[in-house]
Amino acid sequence: MSLLFYYLKLSLRSLKQTPLVSFLTIFIIGLGSSLVSVNLALLETMYSDPIPEKSENLFHISLNTWQDLTPHQEPFYILRYKDAMKILESDIPKYATIFYRSHVYVQAPKSQSDAMHSADVRAFSGDFFNLTQAPFQWGSGWELDDNQQALSHHEIVISHRLNQLLFDGENSLGKTLTIQNKSYSIVGVLKKWNIKPRFYHVTEGQTYFSTEDIFIPLETAIDNNWIVYARMSASDHWTNMDDTRSRNVFYLQSWVQLNNPQQRQDFQLFLDNYSQSLKDSNEHPLAINNELNDVKTWMQINNVVDKNIEAFSVVTLLFLIVCLFNASSLLLAKHSKAQFETGLRRALGVSRRQLYAENMIESVMIGFFSGLIALCFSVIFLYLIENFLPNIANIIEYELFKLGIAFFITLSCSLLIAIYPVYSTYRQSIALQIK
């Protein structure tokens, strides 16, 4: 133990002896590894499984039902109202849901000011809450009939954020909100709900949006003409959302939960049969080509991992290598400067192993200081990335445990780069060193 303290004392002294080299080494290792760590932390979030309990059992549906030979994509990931309804009819999936994204302005409750609050909306039919495991604080979703349609209208579920904003986080069950001059009563309030990535809607660059503030039955949203804030494709003319029920307007996305391969097979067959029946009645001329993609595949298809971050990671990795090369040659210079002393100590009987241990402790020390610097840099880089890439700002979190990666990487780096310089010093003969 006292030897350890002695080593610590020696390494501190050695750092102090060459303040410039030591500082530059520490600075450079910290700089390089913090950039890499920040990127790794972001990539880790992007690659992470948003719903590990059942990501293999949830499937996004793409259908090939465009009515002529000019579909934008085959199969198409957005569905017509009538196709989506067909999916809800099936009793094969454990849960099924269809939805679209909208956006509204909510009037604050009477007691407050005239301010309008911008709110993202998810309008859906079916078991959206069960399928996505949305956590409720108070209340629940609305009642469903046999076709999984909402029984009662003008009921909404709001997010934790909106509840905080409008009701100061109080239980707001039963209260009403005015949206576009109509009243909606709150039947459920969610807990904080952050899915990263937000797997159920990863198209149109909306992957890293937060979960919505208002959840409303699909039919209610359509009846009240809440328009679609996502991709919409139509070959028929339409004026109001109401028109989209009967016409060739594609805008709904659909997910189902299929718990085993049998169900999956059955449901694929169900979709293909449906598509075939449309083709038989000349409603579309395309091949029978319908897809079920599980969460991971669907996220992969839609490039959920931000390309900028991925590209940047490649470059920052090179940057780290450059930094480590640099630090390594700095250390080498430092060691060769101390060669005489090293030789002298070896001549006085300090063993090679002891010197290795001493140097490793010095490296750990450099690693420790670099780690501290890396932490500071990490916070700065996160802040910069948040500013530079607003589309992913939502996933950036200053989670210390993640930045712990930075510390770990830094430490390993500083041990790694010390190997050659230390080795090269001891390779030389004592006689040469003290000559």
Partner 1 sequence: MPIKTLLKSLMRRKFITVLLICQLAMTMGILHNSSILTLDVYNLLNQKKGMDASEFLVIEQLSLAQHLRDGSSHAEFTEQQDIEAIRHIDGVISVAAYNQIPLTHGSPNANIQLEDTPPEKDSRDLNYISYVEMHANGLTNLGIELLEGRQFTDSDEVTSNSHMKHSNMTDSIIVTESLAKRLSPDISILGQLTNRGRVIGVSQDIMYTARSQGRTKYYAYFIVKPTTDRYERKFYIVRSKPALIPEIEKKLRADRFKDSPERIIVRIASLQDIHENFFSRETGSVKMFITLCVLMLLVAIISSFAHAHFHVSKQIRLIGIRRALGAKKSDILKYVFIENILVSAIALLPGILCSYLINIQLSQFLTISKPNFDDFFAIYTVIVLSGFIATWLPAYRTAQIPPITATKTL
Instruction: Give yes or no for residue 107 binding partner 1 (CB under 8 A).
Output: yes
Nearest-angstrom CA–CA distance, 6 and 345: 15
Rounded to a whole number of angstroms, the minimum distance from the CB of residue 206 to partner 1 is: 13
Binding piece for partner 1, criterion CB under 8 A, among 111-119, 144-152, 355-363, 400-408: 111-119
Nearest-angstrom CA–CA distance, 120 and 212: 5
- Single out the residue of 338, 414, 336 nearest to residue 370, CA to CA: 414
Among 3, 4, 287, 318, binds partner 1 (CB under 8 A): 318
Among 135, 337, 344, 347, binds partner 1 (CB under 8 A): 337
Q: Is residue 272 a contact partner of residue 254, using CB atoms and an 8 Å limit?
A: no
Instruction: Give yes or no for residue 110 binding partner 1 (CB under 8 A).
Output: no
Binding piece for partner 1, criterion CB under 8 A, among 26-34, 92-100, 266-274, 398-406: 26-34
Rounded to a whole number of angstroms, the minimum distance from the CB of residue 407 to partner 1 is: 20
Q: Is residue 421 a contact partner of residue 21, using CB atoms and an 8 Å limit?
A: no
Kind and range of the H or E run holding 182: strand 182-190
Dihedral, 371, 374, 375, 378 alpha carbons, nearest 10: -160
Among 140, 391, 412, 429, binds partner 1 (CB under 8 A): 391
**Contacts with partner 1, 145-184, as mask; x by CB under 8 A:** ---------------------------------x-xx---
Among 15, 26, 28, 292, binds partner 1 (CB under 8 A): 28
β 79-80/116-126 pair status: unpaired
Radius of gyration of the chain (CA): 30
CB-based contacts of 331, cutoff 8 Å, min separation 6: 21, 25, 417, 418, 421
- Please tell me what DSSP assigns to residue 115: -
**Contacts with partner 1, 210-249, as mask; x by CB under 8 A:** -----------------x-------x-x-x----------
- Looking at the DSSP bridge assignments, the partners of residue 255 are 60, 97
Residue with tokens 């039963």: 174
Interface with partner 1 (CB under 8 A): 21, 24, 27-28, 31-32, 35, 68-70, 72, 105, 107, 114-116, 118, 178, 180-181, 227, 235, 237, 239, 307-308, 310-312, 314-316, 318-319, 321-323, 325-326, 328-330, 332-333, 336-337, 384-385, 387-391, 420, 424
